[in-house]
Structure 1
């Protein structure tokens, strides 16, 4: 399984481990770094929708493709990009408090409409001849909804079983729960084991479902590092201005955190599959109960 470390743009020139970088942090940089290793692009959908409640204030699909073209040309080694999808978390749809004292306005749309818009955006991006593969993303709020989203792709002429990678959205904030495991089991049943990408899967979540995923990403180290004093860390990148107050932007801290995630992945891939009933899809639970 391949793990993409959620990264700050300046990491790209200083490490060759796979990175996951957001368009929201890249689009304003005039002089882009040159990537030493492979990386994938996040569209920044959660940030966009949690702050504005719509993609209307963000880049248009055509603008997004042009940005991807620029990244592919100047940064290089870009493997794939996420679409401008619509997450289905309750706070994104209905609004509410966010970490850091922020408040999401909410899209005030239905889960079904979020799914429809996600599929429509994917098809539009693909039609714009993007130079980098855009992966389809399944969205939902429960396992059955992910199946319904897959049906929308099928109706749009997209065969998910032939896609090299399919993203699983709206699981970041539940990634270490039985519900997330059930979602991943459901998606793996649709696209096949080892062909799904788990957005925002951290250590505990990967112990549960690493054997079903092909790739995953997380930037949880940065939030954790924000509460870790950096006065004892002497790591400096070129052009560093001096000691850092905390570890929220420290490459060495991020790489050390990554080692723990890789250990969890290894455990999830090699440990006996002794799943609880809650880790199984609903139909399997019923079958075992019978």
Structure 2
């Protein structure tokens, strides 16, 4: 079993970033894809804390399977951890369980779950010092509970880890079904990371998450004219100024609604509870 990962301690909201160079420009927590970072030949220390998306949704959608091997991915993450630093966690090469994804791979939900657990075990065996997190995959609530049991059978106690990813929720994450799933898993004692959580999901169950990331700002910006003072682009879909302003507005709205502080006390030092 890998050592307890302490770098993810403390609640945090990661701003999804298309552009890896934001790591060297912004001082807010960022969520960056391996598919984008892998294209960068030169890396330098980050100006902020950040977390790594494995890019699995795109890779499985394109190929129907993982073409990046665990050894290749672990080597890349080791490079990021050494040269960029400030890496809170890295998502594993999990297998999403949306119906269109299982149709794409030709595998069942159970097989996707088994592959997800097996990949986490392999990555942590290959690179035990890197902050890979386990991810719970499923579609119905019982699926996620079965995945929890798969980790337990493999000797992984998810309740003692500082972060556990919750997969296959981003396209339905503002539904009451996901609220039930998050609530149930949180009551098991899991500190969950919500992947791709939009504003509706944060309002419904954000207070039950240990952390979350979102790229929803870019979707909104693509449908609006540039912010006043922004020049040189027809919209702000890739604009750090818009993205950080969106983040500030979102967290202010959540605070005004009287939400719990789980995702709001963003400046707490690592390891501090809200």
* TM-score, scaled relative to structure 2: 0.86
Where 1:269 maps in the other structure, the secondary structure is coil
Matched ranges for 1:178-189 at <5 A: 178-189=176-187
Q: Does 1:199 align with 2:195?
A: yes
Higher share in helix: 1
Aligned length: 249
8 Å Cα contact 1:10-1:33 kept in structure 2: no
Where 2:106 maps in the other structure, the secondary structure is coil
Matched ranges for 1:1-290 at <5 A: 1-7=11-17, 8-55=19-66, 57=67, 59-94=68-103, 106-192=104-190, 195-230=191-226, 232-234=228-230, 243-266=232-255, 267=257, 269-270=259-260
Distance 1:126 1:223, change over 3 A: same
Deviation at 1:226, TM superposition (A): 2.1
Q: In terms of mean alpha carbon deviation, does 5-14 or 116-125 score higher?
A: 5-14
Deviation at 1:83, TM superposition (A): 0.3
Where 1:109 maps in the other structure, the secondary structure is coil
Deviation at 1:85, TM superposition (A): 0.2
Distance 1:108 1:228, change over 3 A: same
Where 1:54 maps in the other structure, the secondary structure is coil
Deviation at 1:245, TM superposition (A): 2.1
Distance 1:231 1:183, change over 3 A: closer
8 Å Cα contact 1:65-1:130 kept in structure 2: no
8 Å Cα contact 1:23-1:43 kept in structure 2: yes
> What is the distance in 1 between the residues matched to 2:21 and 2:163?
26
8 Å Cα contact 2:227-2:236 kept in structure 1: no
Deviation at 1:33, TM superposition (A): 4.2
> What is the distance in 1 between the residues matched to 2:254 and 2:30?
16
> What is the distance in 1 between the residues matched to 2:62 and 2:229?
33
> What is the distance in 2 between the residues matched to 1:231 and 1:255?
12
* TM-score, scaled relative to structure 1: 0.82
1:195-246 per-residue CA deviation (whole Å, 9 max, x = no partner) reads: 11011111111111122110000111122222223385436xxxxxxx0122
Q: Which residue pairs with 1:275 in the alignment?
A: none
Deviation at 1:32, TM superposition (A): 2.0
> What is the distance in 2 between the residues matched to 1:45 and 1:264?
31
8 Å Cα contact 1:41-1:82 kept in structure 2: yes
8 Å Cα contact 2:227-2:242 kept in structure 1: no
8 Å Cα contact 2:124-2:130 kept in structure 1: no
> What is the distance in 2 between the residues matched to 1:270 and 1:126?
33
8 Å Cα contact 1:168-1:187 kept in structure 2: no
> What is the distance in 2 between the residues matched to 1:158 and 1:73?
26
Larger radius of gyration between Structure 1 and Structure 2? 1
Where 1:3 maps in the other structure, the secondary structure is strand
Deviation at 1:53, TM superposition (A): 1.1
Where 1:172 maps in the other structure, the secondary structure is coil
> What is the distance in 2 between the residues matched to 1:208 and 1:263?
16
